């Protein structure tokens, strides 16, 4: 029986652990650092996701057969390179390949070189030059992206020149982000969606399309968050458009990365937009999306160990099979999120929920389940179509009680 180490502590990692726990090949799962929900399926180990040397020591000691890496911070810290050098099979991209996410400029240059459709852009390291460019164009909104990992805070859509000036000062002059570059790009319009695929060099295995809900309140109001819910499938992308995006975006980037000497060996996440001029790339991530993974991965019929292990070791796979059920997932978040919030508030009733609950930020103390983050639980239901799954999840979610949790009431509204 195989021993697997999963790195990370969110809902995405709970989804990965849940998928692996259903594999008859898997005997034991460790998760570093994990959370209270993951602890029901895996042995949680108190090692930080970026403590690469400690994680390697642990993997060696336990004779791990496979390591699956969730968060981008661990990938960007080079965990895959270190495990590979130690000849431990690891699912995730090398540090160099992770630049597709960790450097906006790298991603934009790659797309320009290989004609992958995306917004036109320029990049700047100098504040005065950047401001001169913004003034000379004077088209608003304009999109400013910090060139580096910025925990979701690196993109500003400036509506006016003073807003652009303020954001550029923060990114290029102030101390908030550290020294770096800024990509300034055209503002695109249209519905956004997520297209994830398992990628091993030239081999690309697509996952079902999904959509995230970034704003905190119903009707897509309020500040951006890490994602308040997700669903699959998407009625507004036709099978032809999906095939087009697979070939011209995901496969094109997989091939380009091989050509550049930085092949992909994990998940490629395309954050795409359906504009009036066709589907274009908004961003790439080098990992599973969160919360999209929580609605997509439970639909995978193919054995998860087989899939992760094949990508990690470069073995070809047959087609990956997916259940065709509609799935809706609703995030329960701490009141105040994405701003300041309280932790340690008791949650009851989750055992009564008929469906799947994946934990995003929870802890157990003296047998009581407590909130332990901004996004706390993802409540998931399957159905024969989106409205069926939506109805189920909103009926069941009422069984969960906590005085400090709230959720959006309209997840999947774009699909109805
Ligand atoms: P990113 O971190 O690149 O995904 O950007 C965060 C969010 O900013 C995206 O999900 C979009 O909603 C928005 N955004 C980024 N780039 C553009 C663009 N070129 N045009 C319009 N919106 C954008
Ligand atoms: N759901 C967006 C992300 O994972 O970046």
**Is the pLDDT assigned to residue 151 strictly greater than 60?**
no
| 268 and 358 part of one domain | no
| 200 and 262 part of one domain | yes
Query: Rounded to the nearest whole angstrom, what is the distance from the C-alpha of residue 287 to the centroid of ligand 2?
Result: 9
| 305 and 373 part of one domain | no
**What pLDDT sits at residue 104?**
86
HSE toward the beta carbon, residue 120, CA cutoff 13 A: 2
Total count of domains within the chain:
4
Write out the residue range of the structural domain in which residue 141 sits.
120-185
| 157 and 253 part of one domain | no
pLDDT range class, residue 334, cuts 50, 70, 90: very high
User: What is the rounded average pLDDT of the residues 374-381?
Assistant: 98
The domain boundary residue, chosen from 313, 340, 373? 313
Counting every residue, how long is the chain?
416
| 285 and 351 part of one domain | no
Which bound ligand lies closest to the C-alpha atom of 158? 1
| 165 and 204 part of one domain | no
Residue 321 lies in a domain: no
User: What is the rounded average pLDDT of the residues 364-374?
Assistant: 95
**What pLDDT sits at residue 137?**
86
Decide: 311 and 200 in contact? Cβ < 8 Å.
yes
Query: Rounded to the nearest whole angstrom, what is the distance from the C-alpha of residue 1 to the centroid of ligand 1?
Result: 43
Residue 28 lies in a domain: yes
Pick left, alpha or beta for residue 34 (phi over 0 → left; psi -120 to 50 → alpha; otherwise beta). left
Which CATH number goes with the domain that contains 406?
Answer: 3.90.600.10
**Is the pLDDT assigned to residue 57 strictly greater than 60?**
yes
User: What is the rounded average pLDDT of the residues 27-46?
Assistant: 97
Query: Rounded to the nearest whole angstrom, what is the distance from the C-alpha of residue 33 to the centroid of ligand 2?
Result: 20
User: What is the rounded average pLDDT of the residues 131-139?
Assistant: 89
What is the per-residue pLDDT across 181-240, written as a single tens digit (0 to 9) for each? 899 999 999 999 999 999 999 999 999 999 999 999 999 999 989 999 999 999 999 999
Residue 105 lies in a domain: no
Which CATH number goes with the domain that contains 257?
Answer: 3.30.470.20
Residue 196 lies in a domain: yes
Residue 104 lies in a domain: no
Residue 395 lies in a domain: yes
Q: Which atom of ligand 1 is nearest to the CA of 214?
A: 10
Partnered with residue 284 across adjacent β-strands are 270
Q: What percent of the chain has pLDDT over 70?
A: 97
Decide: 144 and 131 in contact? Cβ < 8 Å.
no
The domain boundary residue, chosen from 185, 211, 232? 185
DSSP secondary structure string, 321-356?
Answer: PB---EEEEEEEEETTTTS------B-B-GGG-SSE
Helix axes 11-21, 304-313, angle to 10 degrees: 110
Query: Rounded to the nearest whole angstrom, what is the distance from the C-alpha of residue 290 to the centroid of ligand 2?
Result: 5
3-state helix, strand, coil in the chain (%, to 5): 30, 30, 40
Query: Rounded to the nearest whole angstrom, what is the distance from the C-alpha of residue 156 to the centroid of ligand 1?
Result: 8
| 260 and 286 part of one domain | yes
Nearest CA to ligand 2 atom 4: 289
| 199 and 180 part of one domain | no
Best of 155, 225, 269 to mutate for ligand 1, by most ligand atoms within 8 A of CB? 155
What is the per-residue pLDDT across 222-236, written as a single tens digit (0 to 9) for each? 998 999 999 999 999
| 411 and 345 part of one domain | yes
| 238 and 281 part of one domain | yes
Residue 108 lies in a domain: no
Which bound ligand lies closest to the C-alpha atom of 108? 1
Nearest CA to ligand 1 atom 18: 187
Which CATH number goes with the domain that contains 179?
Answer: 3.30.1490.20
**Is the pLDDT assigned to residue 64 strictly greater than 70?**
yes
What pTM, to 2 d.p., does this model score?
Answer: 0.94
3-class SS of residue 224: strand
User: What is the rounded average pLDDT of the residues 34-52?
Assistant: 97
HSE toward the beta carbon, residue 27, CA cutoff 13 A: 7
**What pLDDT sits at residue 392?**
98
Query: Rounded to the nearest whole angstrom, what is the distance from the C-alpha of residue 319 to the centroid of ligand 2?
Result: 25
| 197 and 260 part of one domain | yes
3-class SS of residue 372: coil
**Is the pLDDT assigned to residue 174 strictly greater than 80?**
no
What is the per-residue pLDDT across 254-291, written as a single tens digit (0 to 9) for each? 999 999 999 999 999 999 999 999 999 999 999 999 99
Task: For ligand 1, say whether the CB of 237 is within 6 Å of any of its atoms.
Answer: no
Q: Which atom of ligand 1 is nearest to the CA of 119?
A: 19
**Is the pLDDT assigned to residue 96 strictly greater than 60?**
yes
Which CATH number goes with the domain that contains 17?
Answer: 3.40.50.20
Q: Which atom of ligand 2 is nearest to the CA of 288?
A: 4
| 20 and 68 part of one domain | yes
**What pLDDT sits at residue 121?**
92
Mean residue pLDDT of the chain comes to 95
The domain boundary residue, chosen from 313, 339, 366? 313
Residue 97 lies in a domain: no
CA distance 34 to 47: 9
Q: Which atom of ligand 2 is nearest to the CA of 214?
A: 1
């Amino acid at each position: 029986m195989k021993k697997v180490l999963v790195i990370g502590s969110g809902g995405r990692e709970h989804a990965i652990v849940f998928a692996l726990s259903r594999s008859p090949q898997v005997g034991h799962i460790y998760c570093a650092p994990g959370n209270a929900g993951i602890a029901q399926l895996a042995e949680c180990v108190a090692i930080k996701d970026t403590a690469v040397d400690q994680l390697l020591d642990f993997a060696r000691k336990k004779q791990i057969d496979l390591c699956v890496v969730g968060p981008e911070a661990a990938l960007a810290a080079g965990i895959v390179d270190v495990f590979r050098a130690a000849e431990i099979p690891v699912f995730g991209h090398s540090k160099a390949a992770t630049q597709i996410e960790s450097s906006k400029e790298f991603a934009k240059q790659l797309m320009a070189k290989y004609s992958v459709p995306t917004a036109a852009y320029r990049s700047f390291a100098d504040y005065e030059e950047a401001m001169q460019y913004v003034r000379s164009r004077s088209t608003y909104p304009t999109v400013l992206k910090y060139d580096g990992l910025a925990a979701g805070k690196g993109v500003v859509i400036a509506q006016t020149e003073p807003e652009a000036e303020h954001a550029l000062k923060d990114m290029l002059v102030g101390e908030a982000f550290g020294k770096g570059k800024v990509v300034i790009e055209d503002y695109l319009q249209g519905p956004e969606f997520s297209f994830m695929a398992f990628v091993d060099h030239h081999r690309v295995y697509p996952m079902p399309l999904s959509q995230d809900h970034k704003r905190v309140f119903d009707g897509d109001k309020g500040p951006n968050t890490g994602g308040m819910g997700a669903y699959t499938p998407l009625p507004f992308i036709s099978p032809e458009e999906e095939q087009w995006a697979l070939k011209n975006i995901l496969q094109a980037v997989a091939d380009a990365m091989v050509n550049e000497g930085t092949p992909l060996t994990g998940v490629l996440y395309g954050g795409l937009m359906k504009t009036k001029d066709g589907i274009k790339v908004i961003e790439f991530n080098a990992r599973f999306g969160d919360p999209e993974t929580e609605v997509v991965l439970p639909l995978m019929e193919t054995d998860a160990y087989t899939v992760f292990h094949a990508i990690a070791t470069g073995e070809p796979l047959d087609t990956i099979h997916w259940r065709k059920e509609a799935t809706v997932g609703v995030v329960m978040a701490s009141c105040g999120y994405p701003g300041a919030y309280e932790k340690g508030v008791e949650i009851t009733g989750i055992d009564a929920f008929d469906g799947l609950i994946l934990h995003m930020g929870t802890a157990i103390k003296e047998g009581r389940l407590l909130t332990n983050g901004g996004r706390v639980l993802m409540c998931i239901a399957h159905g024969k179509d989106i409205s069926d799954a939506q109805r189920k999840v909103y009926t069941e979610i009422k069984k969960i009680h906590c005085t400090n949790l709230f959720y959006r009431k309209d997840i999947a509204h774009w699909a109805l």
